Amino acid sequence: MATIKDISKEAGVSPATVSRVLNHDRTLSVSNDKRKLIFEVAERLSYVPPRNRKKTQVKSKYKIGLIHWYTIDQELEDPYYLSIRVGIEKQAYEHQVDIVKLYAPSKEDLNHLKGVDGMICIGKFSDSDIRKFDKISKNLVFVDSSPFEENYDSVVVDIEKSVIKIVDHLISTGCKRIGYIGGREFAGVENIPIGETRKDVFKTYLTSMNYYDDEQIYVGKFLAESGYQLMKQAINDSELLPEAFFIASDSMAVGALRALHEHGIKVPDVVQIVGFNDIPTSNYTIPPLTTLRVHKEFMGETSIKLLLERLEDHRLISKKVVVPTELVVRESSK
């Protein structure tokens, strides 16, 4: 069985650093690449935390499936969903719930879920995906999406209020020219394009104030590299950059900040940057990133509680829990 020392040896860091990273210590100053490497090594070595090893001595009440629309590599590149999963696993441990995890599952993978009491589905899924899940269990909870709300429970963020909160903040600092950098997502093996609510709300709200400029909209993938490339494109496209950018994920914002730094464009003096999610590294960028905090672990914890209500209280009416957000103002905005 792999240990902290095994991971530290392969990752080239101290055992203390490995322990703090795996426990999501927000106060630890460590690069995103090193953090990612530690998680990759832990997954590859099938590391099991001591608290979960003890769990085998206690008979579990339920067995649930945890379906992740990302692959393991994608989850490590975008810590947003990783934090949701951690919240689910912590709450499952507290309630003696066994978890069967599937990443970006194929039809064959779903066979491993036969006999589960329910499933938590993280991310966005196509209608055909959901029909397959429903055949395995009627007790489904979706996190970060809310399909077929009359049938299934869900935990989501109020995207509209969150985006308006960000735009209002930037306008309050005197900005009128605000650009957008975001990603495009696809669901299921069919790669069905998903509408991006953040972009839609941004466009509608700025249009109502006559501030919207379609030429300052850049869309790629929700990855740091994409944020980097899109910001470089924005710099090259425009003689006059927007006074601020709303960037739809912190991972993308990290890449965008690097592009601005390479071009000698000062943040926030010349361009203000606001991200979305408040991942752990957001507090350690240069300058520290203003972002919209999403309570990711709480979303995961809530999904377990909803599923237990179905299993233990036999609740039949579906619930949609909307988790509030908060703007965390740091030095990347005024």
Class for domain 159-294, per CATH? alpha beta
DSSP 120: E
Question: Are 4-157+296-323 and 159-294 equal in CATH topology?
Answer: yes
**Through-space distance between the first and last CA atoms of the chain, rounded to whole angstroms:** 49
Question: pLDDT of the chain along its 334 residues, tens only?
Answer: 678 888 888 888 998 898 888 877 767 777 767 877 787 788 777 677 766 555 444 567 899 999 998 888 888 777 888 889 989 998 998 899 999 999 888 767 888 898 999 999 999 999 999 999 999 999 999 999 999 999 999 999 999 999 999 999 999 999 999 999 999 877 766 667 677 899 999 999 999 999 999 999 999 999 999 999 999 999 998 788 999 999 999 999 999 999 999 999 999 999 999 999 998 889 999 999 999 999 999 999 999 999 999 999 999 999 999 999 999 999 999 9
Residues 6+ apart with CB under 8 A from 90: 297, 300, 301
Bridge partners of residue 5, in order along the sequence: none
Within 10 Å of residue 193's Cβ, how many Cβ atoms?
10
What CATH code is assigned to 4-157+296-323?
3.40.50.2300
pTM flag (> 0.85): no
- DSSP E strand stretches across the chain: 62-68, 97-103, 118-122, 140-143, 153-157, 178-183, 185-187, 192-194, 217-220, 244-247, 272-277, 290-294, 320-323, 325-328
Scanning the structure block, which residue is given the tokens 């491993």?
A: 112
Question: Where are the chain's structural domains?
Answer: 4-157+296-323, 159-294
